[in-house]
């Protein structure tokens, strides 16, 4: 009969490095036929598992995924749900589109009827150029009557994302930049729509 002590490195590895103590216990018991030693096996498997788990939350298999942010875990339900969500399904397209050479006075009707407080500015090729905020429009309402151009109030977007951007990363960007919406662009720089915190929270 193979002695369990000769296989101790095997079940120790399963218990601590791989975080699979029960697998180690039953594997050693099956190989050796030493079911009478089940209790000692449980003790010697539990100790290295507890020591390693206190320092390393993830096993040797799951650690690379956790470092990439791709690990789905019931222990971190928020990250799991956000990882499963796809940004392309959260894009909002009901926007008032402004062209950089537009006169704001010609767009005021659409702007005032919109529910948004930020508007995308595109060039003639529909490539994204920047943003115009409702606060700036209302602040310069007198100048608008004098046919101020969209380009005069346009600001650079603090950040842009693509449909492939991780939703969790989008929320982190929003928190960092203190914004509620971000423009979504494709690989060619064309504007696809906005993604908002409200849309993410509703989907969550």
The confidence score (pLDDT) of residue 87 equals: 84
Using DSSP's 3-state secondary structure scheme, residue 73 falls into: coil
The residue from 21, 49, 64 where one domain ends is 64
Q: Tell me: do 97 and 193 sit in the same domain.
A: yes
Largest CA distance in the chain: 97
Q: Is position 145 within any domain? A: yes
Q: Tell me: do 109 and 29 sit in the same domain.
A: no
Boundaries of domain holding 10: 4-64
The confidence score (pLDDT) of residue 199 equals: 86
Region at 98 (left for phi over 0; alpha for psi -120 to 50; beta for the rest): beta
> Which pLDDT tens digit goes with each residue over 162-189?
999 888 888 889 889 888 899 999 989 8
Instruction: Reply yes or no on whether the pLDDT at 202 is more than 50.
Output: yes
- Model confidence at 122, pLDDT cuts 50, 70, 90, reads very high
Virtual CA dihedral for 185, 191, 192, 196, nearest 10 degrees?
80
Count of structural domains, the chain: 2
Q: How many whole angstroms separate alpha carbon 137 and alpha carbon 17?
A: 60
The confidence score (pLDDT) of residue 2 equals: 45
Average pLDDT over residues 135-147: 68
Is-contact 179 116, C-beta < 8 A? no
Contacting residues for 155 by C-beta, under 8 A, at least 6 apart: 130, 131, 132, 133, 136
Q: How many whole angstroms separate alpha carbon 172 and alpha carbon 79?
A: 12
Q: Tell me: do 185 and 93 sit in the same domain.
A: yes
The confidence score (pLDDT) of residue 18 equals: 60
Contacting residues for 86 by C-beta, under 8 A, at least 6 apart: 163, 167
Q: Is position 82 within any domain? A: no
**pTM exceeds 0.75 for this model:** no
Tokens coding 74:
């019931």
Q: Tell me: do 22 and 105 sit in the same domain.
A: no
Q: Tell me: do 42 and 101 sit in the same domain.
A: no
């Amino acid at each position: 009969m193979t002695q369990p002590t000769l296989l101790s490195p095997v079940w120790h590895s399963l218990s601590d490095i791989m975080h699979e103590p029960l697998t180690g216990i039953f594997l050693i018991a099956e190989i050796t036929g030493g079911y009478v030693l089940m209790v000692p096996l449980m003790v010697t498997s539990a100790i290295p598992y507890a020591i390693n788990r206190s320092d390393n939350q993830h096993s040797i298999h799951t650690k690379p995924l956790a470092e990439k942010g791709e690990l789905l875990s019931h222990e971190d339900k928020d990250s799991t749900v956000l990882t499963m969500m796809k940004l392309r399904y959260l894009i909002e397209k009901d926007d008032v589109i402004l062209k950089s050479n537009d006169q704001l006075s010609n767009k005021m009707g659409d702007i005032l009827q919109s529910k948004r407080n930020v508007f995308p500015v595109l060039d003639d090729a529909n490539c994204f150029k920047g943003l115009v905020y409702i606060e700036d429009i209302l602040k310069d309402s007198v100048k608008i009557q004098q046919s101020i151009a969209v380009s005069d109030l346009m600001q650079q977007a603090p950040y842009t994302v693509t449909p492939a951007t991780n939703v969790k990363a989008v929320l982190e960007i929003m928190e960092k930049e203190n914004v509620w919406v971000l423009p979504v662009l494709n690989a060619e720089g064309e504007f696809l729509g906005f993604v908002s915190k409200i849309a993410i929270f509703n989907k969550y």
